[in-house]
Amino acid sequence: MENIAALILGCLVGSFLNVCILRLPKEESIVFPGSHCTKCNKPIAWYDNIPVVSYVMLGAKCRHCKTTISIQYPLIEILTGVLFVSFYHFFGATPKGVLYLYLALGLLVQSVIDYRYKIIPDSITLPAIVIGLMASALFPEIHGQAAHLSGFWASLRGVLVGGGFLYVVGSLGEWILKKEAMGGGDVKLLAAVGAVTGWHGVLWTIFVGSLAGAIVGIYLRIRQGEEMIPFGPFLALGAFLYLFIGPQAMDWYFGWLRGI
């Protein structure tokens, strides 16, 4: 029953995330006006706004103008539901689990936006930095600390390492290439990851994100001639993997090094 409740709650939150994905790049309010068709602007009734169910019942078309509804809507709702169940299963209803889930949802929204529009809104990353710092001070066990101040410093170090590293890399790249090499949104995104995971999570995220980005980037450059590839989704992938397997994998790796 708890997993079913988490799934339903996640799907409902996923419906809200769809609103964020649609409106944040346009700098529109995510509260007003209420849900409406982007084609005919008719308000969407509550019974046509039930996650996943309404999409199926309506045949993926607006009730009023019959415009096709993007498959993105049910996919995001289902994925968010799966995230809720997964985080509840792995971390329980704990401060760490809630903060990690919050970060994962932010990563999901920014990944879709960055992929589509090549931007990462400050309205996602800056609140995540603040919330990460505050939660770490209130619940230092998130970073394996006992004292509130220690939890805050662990989070702050993550912010400084994350944001500082990409800022330096971007500045050097801009100086060498004579063009922007790293967007400011990526810098703030990694700072947000650091606020939640600490500097260990930053190192993991950079390594995994860069590796995945290089592989996909080379493929797209050769096959499709793509030159501008958003880095945000790859950082999000690295951070997401860290939440579940990063600490264990890093402990194993460094233990293996010490044993050589």
Distance CA 42, CA 62 (A): 9
- pLDDT tens string, the chain, 260 residues long: the values are 888 999 999 999 999 999 999 999 988 899 888 888 888 989 998 899 999 999 999 999 999 899 999 999 999 999 999 999 999 999 999 999 999 999 999 999 999 999 999 999 999 999 999 999 999 999 999 999 999 999 999 999 999 999 887 777 666 656 565 555 556 788 899 999 999 999 999 999 999 999 998 888 887 777 776 667 888 999 999 999 999 998 888 888 777 767 77
Residues 6+ apart with CB under 8 A from 57: none
Alpha carbon of residue 158 to chain centroid: 17
pLDDT given at position 155: 97
Extract the tokens encoding 38. 């982007």
**Domain residues of the chain, as ranges?**
1-93, 95-260
CA atoms within 13 A of residue 10's CA, in its CB half-sphere: 27
| CA dist 81 → 15, 17, 34, 48, 104 (Å) | 10, 11, 22, 19, 12
pLDDT computed for residue 10 by the predictor: 97
Q: What is the DSSP letter of 93?
A: S
Tell me if the bond preceding 33 is cis, omega within 30° of 0.
yes
Total-model pTM: 0.90
